[in-house]
Amino acid sequence: MWLFRKSSNSIFCKGCKKWVHKKCSGLKRLTKDSDFKCSRCQGTARPIDGRPQSEVQVGSDKLDVVASFCYLGDMLSAAGGCDLATTTRVKTAWKKFKELLPVLLSRHLSYKTRGHVYSTCVRSAMLHASETWPLTKPNLQRLQRNDRAMIRQICNVKPEDVATTRSNELLTLLGLEDLNLILKERRLRWYGHVERSSGAIKTALDMQVTGSRGKGRPRMTWKQVTERDRKDWKLSTTDPHDRNTWRSGVRSAMRAASQLPGRGSTDVDVAPVPAR
């Protein structure tokens, strides 16, 4: 039986009885090795769900490596990133939203009161642990898309009026800040706590991971995301080790950002809307 294919650059695995391509075999040069076993048969293959390995040895015990787990209400994934966390929190927010529909759609409550209930009970559930997320553009769009869908439902915006209704007008009507501003404020406030800390979180922030990176631009780390937020809000010269100075600086930057055009400010005087 042929042990390798010259035309397709593959070698036959003795364990699973399948052909393995040269790029996946780990061999620099194909040989007529009758005892070749692929990485899957040897137990060294990396799972496709992002886990570095399927189990670890701790003393005499073998512990399984899971693809994801929940820690303090936040979902952690072996593949990294916050895709799973944002998806889970969005589902939780919709569950809370449906439970509060009689209150959020009540005609006996003003829009400001509904916005306060929504911010306290629904948005807080959606943004739980968001201060630790290195959000990417798709993650942010997922959160904003679902947040605006709930807000339109509270304001009784019909599907045919979605294209002509501005989200900033609805945010002002409910007295809510833009979701992106809240996420930045949460990250920057937590950044101050981390910088002032002397425990494990401070060590993890400055930790340098050894090894080679894959091709392409690497993902932005949480520290890089917060540094970008500091630059956007002009807080690069503010000392995060001074708690009072940092906290007042973040609040001032938040107020300044909310007054920019197209940001959904809550400081604008809005005529009261009578209960329907």
* pLDDT of res. 78: 80
State mean pLDDT over 18-33: 64
Q: In the chain, where are the structural domains located?
A: 4-45, 49-80, 82-176, 179-197+221-266
* pLDDT of res. 15: 75
For residue 45, pLDDT over 70 is answered with no
* pLDDT of res. 186: 96
* pLDDT of res. 151: 96
Q: Which has more confidence, 14 or 257? A: 257
pLDDT tens-digit series, residues 190-223: 999 999 998 888 888 888 878 777 778 888 899 9
pLDDT tens-digit series, residues 100-157: 999 999 999 999 999 999 999 999 999 999 999 999 999 999 999 999 999 999 999 9
pLDDT tens-digit series, residues 55-85: 778 888 888 878 888 999 999 888 788 999 9
Q: Is domain 4-45 given the CATH code 3.30.420 in the classification?
A: no
* pLDDT of res. 239: 93
* pLDDT of res. 213: 73
**Can you give the three-state secondary structure of the chain, one letter per residue?**
CCCEECCCCEEECCCCCCEEEHHHHCCCCCCCCCCCCCHHHHCCCCCCCCCCCCEEEECCEEEECCCEEEECCEEEECCCCCHHHHHHHHHHHHHHHHHCHHHHCCCCCCHHHHHHHHHHHHHHHHCCCHHHCCCCHHHHHHHHHHHHHHHHHHCCCCHHHCCCCCHHHHHHHHCCCCHHHHHHHHHHHHHHHHHHCCCHHHHHHCCCCCCCCCCCCCCCCHHHHHHHHHHHCCCCCCCCCCHHHHHHHHHHHHHHHHCCCCCCCCCCCCCCCCCC
